[in-house]
Amino acid sequence: MAAKPRFRNDADATDAPEGADAGAAPADRKHPVDETLPPLRMFTSGLQHVAAMYAGVVAPPLIVGAAVGLSGTELTFLTGASLFTAGLATFLQTLGVWKIGARLPFVNGVTFAGVAPMLAIVDTTDDKADALPVIFGAIIVAGLLGFIAAPYFSKLVRFFPPVVTGTVITLIGVSLLPVAFGWAQGPDPAAKDYGSTTYLTLAAITLALVLVLRRFTRGFVKQIAVLIGLVLGTLIAVPFGVTDFTPVIEADVVGFPAPFHFGAPQFALAAIISMCVVMLVSMTESTADMLALGEIVERPADEKTIAAGLRADTLGSAISPLFNGFMCSAFAQNIGLVAMTRIRSRFVVAAGGGFLVLMGLSPVAASLISVVPRPVLGGAGVVLFGSVAASGIQTLVKAGLEKDNNVLIVAVSLAVGIIPITEPEFYHAFPETAKIILDSGISTGCVAAVLLNLVFNHLGKGGRDADEVTAPMEPGEEISETRAARPAPAR
């Protein structure tokens, strides 16, 4: 097999050894990750990355903003702030500065992992006006602590195998699906028409549109199927009188997300602990994403790259609340886009970050998503949040579930994480500060998965005992080679 061409990494350039094979690619040739493309291709490719992740960026501020009770104008502001800070975080990750940034084609944006814990903080805050400042204060602390821990965390990758990351990602999707179901029923749970056939029909139509686009289109259109579904669903909803264009009419063409627009950050211990757990989840996800992307672009992510990437994630998260944004993390869906298009340039993704910043500076652009009726968002949310859960299941498939230990880890962790979803009052007897953490299935499920993985796969003989699943055979099941080869138990 012919050797792969050798590329120069701008961050660590080396000269070709004297007497190298004349037929080999020159050592100073830029790696595709570090190449720039013609302006038009850079523009369209960067825009495609924004389209692929746009719905994912605006969904968290919509969810949290609605829970806080923000007006349409304030919701537009919060959405624009999330777009702006996602662009800044993407710049940090792709362009890098000092030892910050993986310098890989990563798009950064608001992480879904933080939504459920933030909703828990909102629910346990007496004055909803204080909810966002408490959330922002917790994110700042978690981001700074994560920045300090980044080089050490990169050494602990072995404690976060697919059995842990897959469980956590699955819980993220499952925890958010009830939000989509709530959206599908209408904007106001107290209204008489909440859950009406009109709202549910609009949600079903939007879901069907997204599925049809994903099934029968290709390339760019397929990648933005969710975005197109939202647009078409909104247009269909107009005759029903549930589409409100007031936020767009009232929005300014140009605006800047003023620092601390919702008040100075507040620092509550329980909220900080909860967001630190989310930061742990986010860092775990980002590490897995960097490993995957490194293989795709043929620049394997080593410990140094992972540490630099985690610094970008955590610093971006710490800066984000200053401009009214939330915790940032790498977007896995854009990794799939890199794999599909084979466009590996990090500068393309940096161009996408530029688009995000410009959209964040234009309230009119940010307000467009606030026009989308809640039932339409609910229909698209089923696909969006369900896809997150499906990604977690895909990861679990690679987690070695033929081992009893891993089956138990997944089973118990999922059970613990699903408690707040199925029994919201399960922890009602606990103090309010503890409920901020316990009411987040993602946080409790993540802690359970990490601890159980340590107990079953790292401590003592956990990694060597009970390797095979010991569940009894189903009727009619053929004896596998593994079972057949197993010696009979001693009598």
Q: What are the mean pLDDT values of the chain's consecutive 10-residue runs (491 residues total)?
A: 46 40 51 82 78 75 87 83 91 90 87 82 83 93 94 78 83 82 85 89 93 84 77 90 78 80 89 88 78 77 88 93 89 68 83 88 74 85 80 82 87 92 85 72 82 85 51 43 44 39
The conformational region for residue 109 under phi > 0 = left, psi -120 to 50 = alpha, else beta, is: beta
In a domain, 413, yes or no: no
In a domain, 477, yes or no: no
Which residues neighbour 453 within 8 Å (Cβ) at sequence distance 6 or greater?
Answer: 159, 161, 163, 164, 409
pLDDT value, residue 80: 86
pLDDT value, residue 377: 83
Please state the φ and ψ torsions of residue 465, each to the nearest 5 degrees.
Answer: -90, 155
Strand partners, 178: none
In a domain, 437, yes or no: no
pLDDT value, residue 362: 82
The residue range of the domain holding 197 is: 33-387
User: Alpha-carbon distance 392 to 396, whole Å?
Assistant: 6
SS3 content of the chain, % helix, strand, coil (to 5): 65, 0, 30
Domain count, the chain: 1
User: Alpha-carbon distance 406 to 231, whole Å?
Assistant: 43
In a domain, 369, yes or no: yes
pLDDT value, residue 462: 53
In a domain, 307, yes or no: yes
- Parallel/antiparallel/unpaired status of strands 108-110 and 328-330: antiparallel
In eight-state DSSP terms, residue 323 is: G
pLDDT value, residue 4: 47
In a domain, 452, yes or no: no
> What is the residue-wise DSSP string for 18-60?
TT--TTSPPTTSBPGGG----HHHHHHHHHHHHHHHHHHHHHH
pLDDT value, residue 11: 42
pLDDT value, residue 211: 92
- Type of residue numbered 10: D
CA atoms within 13 A on the CB side of 275: 30
User: Alpha-carbon distance 403 to 469, whole Å?
Assistant: 5
Q: How many CB atoms lie within 10 A of CB 254?
A: 8
In a domain, 427, yes or no: no
In a domain, 394, yes or no: no
